[in-house]
Chains A and B, each alone.
Chain A
Amino acid sequence: MTFQKMSRVLALPMALVLFLEVGPLPVAHAALVSTEQVIQEGAAAENRARVMSFLAREDVRSEMEALGINPAEAAARTQALSDEEIARIANKLDATAVGGDAIAVIVGAILLLFIILLVTDLLCLTKVFPFTRCPSK
C-alpha cells in the first residue's frame, strides 16, 4: 500500500477520533460568562503553568537532553498544545509522584503526544508545528 493510499484510508477514522477528542466548537453568543466557564479557564491556565514549570525544572531539562530533546524547543511546542492536551499531561503530573522514574514517564508521554500530533500534521489533519508540510500538496 502506498503512503497516499494509506493516508486516504486512515484519514476518516483519524478525523473522527480528532473530532471526538476535541468535540464541537462552542457557539459564541453574547451573554454572561458562566461560572463553570470561568472555573474551567482558571484550571486550564493553572495546568499550563504547572506543565511549563515542570519542563523548566533542572532535572527534567537534563532528562530531556539525555533523550535528545532540546528543552527550549519542547517548551515552545508545549505552548502550542491545546488546553485539553495540557490537561492530559497535567493529570499525569498529578498521578505520578515525581521522582526519577516518573520524570521519564512524563517526558515520554509528552513525547508521544508530539509524535501523534506530528503524524496528524503530516496527514494534514492538524497544523500544530510550523515546520510540517502536507506531503500530498
Chain B
Amino acid sequence: MRRLGPLCALLLVSALGACATPQTSRILAEGGGLPRQAEVPDVPFYPQEQYYCGPAALAMVMTWSGEPVTQDDLVAEVYTPSRQGTFRNDMVAAARRRGRLAVQVGDVRSLLAEIAAGNPVVVFQNLALEWFPRWHYAVAVGYDLEQREIVLRSGTDARLVVDLYAFERTWGRGDYWGLVVLPPERLPATADERSVLDAAAALERTGRHRESGGAYTAILARWGDSFPAWMGLGNTLYARKDFSGAAHAFREATRRQPQAPAAWNNLAYALAAQGRHDDAKRAAEEAVRLAPESAHTYRDTLRDLSGPRP
C-alpha cells in the first residue's frame, strides 16, 4: 500500500499534465478580440485576515463599485464559521443586499473582456487538487497576453502576477466561477440579456427598487425591445409610487408584446392608481380576453378594479 503513494502521485501529475487549458490556449492563439493587455486602475486592496478571503475579495470590488465597505463589515453576511469559508451564493446575495448588480462570469474570454472593459472580477479558485481542495477567492484586475499573465489581488498580495495557464487550472477547478459587482446602472460588458435581467430582478426582490430601476433602464439602453425589462421598470416605478411612470413603462411593454396579458394586467393597476378607472378596466378586460383559461389572477384584477370605489 505504501508503494502505491508515489505511483498515485505520478498518475496524478500525468493526469494534470493532460488537463489542458483549452480556453487560454485558444485566446493566446486567436487573440479572442481582446486588447493585448489591460488593468483596472483604482481597485483598492484589503489584505485578507485569517480565512476571510471571501469577505476581503467582495469588499474590494464593492468599494471599487462605489459602495465602501471593509471585510469586517461583510463577515456577518458572507462568512460561515463552521466551514471557515464563504459560499458563493452568499457572495452574490451580499452584493445584492447592498444594492449592487452582481452577475456571474464563467469563462476565461469573458473574464478578460470584463477586465478590459474596466470591471474587476471576483474569482473562485481551487489552489490545490480536486480531491484535496484549497478554496480561495481573489480579485482579477489585470492581464497581459504577451507575457501570458493575469494580475490578482489575492490574500496578502496586492498585485500577484500568475501565469495564465496556471490560473486557468485553478479557476477551472473552481468551476470557472467569477462575479462582477457593479453599480446597478452599469452593465457587465459580456453578460447576455437573460443574466442581467435575472440580476436586476434579484435586486428588485431585495426591495432595492431605485437600484433595480436603474438596472432595467440600463438594460433598455442596450436591448430596447426587452419586454421583461419594460415590465421590471414598470414594477419598480409602481413600487416607488410613480404611477404615471409605471403606466408608461407597462404601455411600452404592451407595444413590445401585445399578446402578453401580464403587461395589460399591470397597466390596469398603474392606471387605477392614478384614478383612471375606465382606462384601468379596459386594460384589465384585455388581460382576461388574452388569457381566458388561466385567468384567475386577471379575473381577480378585473373584479378588484371594477368594484365599488370611493
Residues of A within 8 A of B (CB): 28-39, 41-43
Give the residue of A33, A42, A43 whose beta carbon is less than 8 angstroms from that of B297. A33
| Bound complex: CA A42 to CA B227 (Å) | 9
Encode contact with A along B250-284: 1 for CB under 8 Å, 0 otherwise.
Answer: 00000000000010011001000000000000000
User: In the bound complex, how far is the Cα of B291 from the Cα of A28, in angstroms?
Assistant: 14
State which of A28, A29, A41, A43 has its C-beta within 8 Å of the C-beta of B194: A43
Q: How far is the CA of A32 from the CA of B249 in the complex (A)?
A: 14
The residue that A39 contacts in the complex, of B197, B238, B301, B304, with Cβ under 8 A, is: B197
A32 touches B265 (CB 8 A): yes
Residues in B289-308 with C-beta less than 8 Å from chain A: 296-297, 300-301, 303-304
Chain B residues, Cβ within 8 Å of A36: 201, 204-205
Task: Chain A residues near B24: list those with CB within 8 A.
Answer: none
A28: chain B residues within 8 A (beta carbon): 296-297, 300
In the assembly, what is the distance between CA of A39 and CA of B303, in Å? 26
For B177-199 the 0/1 string (1 means CB < 8 A from A) is 00000000000000000100110
Contacts of B194 in A (CB 8 A): 39, 43
Contact assessment for A35 and B301 in the assembled complex, using a CB-CB cutoff below 8 Å: no
Q: Which residue of B lies closest to A29 (CB)?
A: B300
List chain B positions with a Cβ less than 8 A from chain A: 194, 197-198, 200-201, 204-205, 227-228, 231-232, 235, 238, 262, 265-266, 269, 296-297, 300-301, 303-304
- The reply to whether A32 and B235 form a contact with Cβ atoms under 8 Å apart is yes
Set of chain B residues within 8 Å of A34, measured between Cβ atoms: 235
Q: Chain A's nearest CB lies how many Å from the CB of B22?
A: 13
| A45 → chain B closest CB, angstroms | 10
Could you say which of B231, B269, B304 contacts A35, with CB atoms under 8 Å apart? B231
Known contacts A39-B198, A43-B194; A31/B297 CB under 8 A: yes
Would you list 5 pairs from A and B whose C-beta atoms are within 8 A, ordered by A residue?
A: A28-B300, A29-B297, A30-B301, A37-B262, A39-B228
